[in-house]
Amino acid sequence: MTPQLMQAIKLLQLSSLDLSAYVEAELEQNPLLERASDGEDVVAAEEAPEPEGDAAESDEIRAGDWLHEDLETSRAALEQRLDTDLENVFPSEPAEPGERRTGDFPAPSEWAGVGHGGRDGEDYNLEAFVAADVSLAEHLSAQLALAVADPVQRLIGAHLIELVDEAGYITEDLGAVAEKLGTSRESVEAVLAVLQTFEPSGVCARNLAECLAIQLRERDRFDPAMQTLVANLDLLARRDFAALRKLCGVDEEDLRDMIAEIKRLNPKPGLAFGAAVVQPVVPDVLVRQGPDGGWLVELNPDTLPKVLLNQSYYAKVSQAVRSGEEKSYLAERLQSATWLVRALDQRARTILKVASEIVRQQDGFFTHGVEHLRPLNLRTVAEAIGMHESTVSRVTANKFMATNRGIFELKYFFTSAIASANGGEAHSAEAVRHRIRQLIEAETPDNVLSDDTIVERLRAAGIDIARRTVAKYREAMRIPSSVQRRREKQAAIGLRA
């Protein structure tokens, strides 16, 4: 395991923004690298000039021989699971005096000058101790990961979060969202109901009245009189208090208290996060339908850093170097530049290979919608393309795919499987959850389905599933038990009567 191989493996899991920052840093410190202009081909590693003189015999040059092998074939290295190996984070071997390794803790002597006033020296930076601002989308996404276990609902929720404006509202038509995702409006509304329980209170509302209603429900103040007041905000804006007292059935003092309660609410809950810089999601992979009805997969050229090895500059400088130190530095810079060009090319090829297989496996999703996600795991993709599972795992981290149904993270397309009752093709766990939700939504007050009945109906449809699994899926979707649903439906009938 050379340091370059370790770094190349880590390059796979970098997002496009992190990769751009890394490449920019390399461009600044390596004089042999330059940014390729549009339409200019990047110099292939095989075309890189060979070093001359003593530099050609250096161990640093020979240490780069691993570049001649594909990254995914280095199984022994990948199986070490670098991301979970603590020794790769905290080196066991002590550094030489005065030497610092990336990721090391500061030496005890470095803290000697730190008192209650902070570190001595001119390099003290107070901003390094300030937490970065969290955007509203990040805040909601973190809550989504904890509140929703169903990947299909997470996918819907992630799409809805992208539609939230800076004030915290969703103004997009839910019918259009459902059509784009290939699911029912009821499914989108169910996920939206979960998002509306997130903090800040009132977020993800579709209008002002709904925003206020959410906050009032959380305060247990959404009684019938308050419901009427919220439903007639236009009268409140016109200060038509007489009409409001009549509609709400309250006296002047009660109406005054209700209005005071409304004024204590936040009509734009999302503005608390307005100061954060929102970074738009730039897809790494573009998927579009081809003329033959299939799907065309290509890398987004905007996310691919283009660097090349400046051969003419290397040839000029190599003739002028004289000392051994200069030759060693030039050889090291040549090796680093050659490695980066190859590593970026390998990374792009690997991402395209993995994304293409995902599209092939999940073509039902692209054609028909989220309900047609197939069971898929890392091993299936890895075996299909001849790579290691850990490589596929790194490729799918922090990478996004632009599709006809929106932009999704690659990891969303990996779902668990439910066996078929008749021995046929397995069913996606997300599709099974959706089927359970459909059965429950279609039930009537006098025919509420128990978990056992749902199991029987699913098995009749060819889905082999246990009762405890149905209960687990139902609870994950926040659907109450059959007894509670029956009570709620009967109470609703009584109210209408």
Quote the tokens at residue 425.
Answer: 């093709």
Q: What is the pLDDT of residues 378-394, one digit of tens each?
A: 888 988 988 888 888 88
Q: What is the DSSP letter of 463?
A: B
d(CA 51, CA 330): 9
pLDDT at 212: 93
Question: Above 70 in pLDDT, residue 111?
Answer: no
CATH for 136-200? Answer: 1.10.10
What secondary structure letter does DSSP report for 105?
P
How much is the pTM?
0.51
Cα→Cα distances 218→170, 214, 221, 256, Å: 20, 6, 8, 21
Q: Which residue type occupies 340? A: L
User: Per-residue pLDDT averaged across 150-164, rounded?
Assistant: 86
**Of 411 and 231, more confident:** 231
pLDDT of 30 = 82
Higher local confidence (pLDDT), 277 or 223: 223
**What integer pLDDT is reported at residue 113 of this predicted model?**
36
**Token match 């990047």: residue?**
42
Residue 439 pLDDT exceeds 70: yes
Q: How far apart are CA 193 and CA 465, in angstroms?
A: 27
State how far the Cα of 222 lies from the Cα of 210, in Å rounded to an integer.
Answer: 11
Q: Same CATH topology for 136-200 and 418-496?
A: yes
May I ask the CATH class of domain 418-496? Answer: mainly alpha
Integer Cα distance of 251 and 233 in angstroms:
18
The sign one gets for the Cα dihedral 101, 104, 106, 109 is: negative
Q: Tokens standing for 411?
A: 């990891």
pLDDT of residue 279: 59
pLDDT, one tens digit per residue, over 289-347 is 888 888 899 998 888 888 888 777 878 887 777 778 878 888 888 888 888 888 888 88
Q: Cα–Cα distance between 283 and 299 in angstroms, integer? A: 9
The pLDDT of residue 128 is above 90: no
**Cα three-residue angle 5-328-308, rounded to 5 degrees:** 55
Question: Residues with Cβ < 8 Å from 55, sequence gap 6 or more?
Answer: 61, 327, 328, 330, 331, 334
Query: How much is the pLDDT for 365?
Result: 85
How confident is residue 427, by pLDDT bands cut at 50, 70 and 90? low
245-272 pLDDT, tens per residue?
Answer: 899 988 888 888 889 888 889 999 988 8
Backbone angles phi, psi at 269, to 5 degrees: -65, -25
Mean pLDDT of the 416-444 span: 70
Question: Is residue 422 pLDDT above 60, yes or no?
Answer: no
- Residue 67 confidence class, pLDDT cut points 50, 70, 90: very low
Q: In this predicted structure, which of 83-87, 317-321, 477-481 has the lowest mean pLDDT?
A: 83-87
Least confident of 53-62, 138-147, 191-200, 206-215: 53-62
Q: Which residue has the tokens 């290295």?
A: 77
The residue extents of the domains of the chain are 1-89+282-415, 136-200, 208-265, 418-496
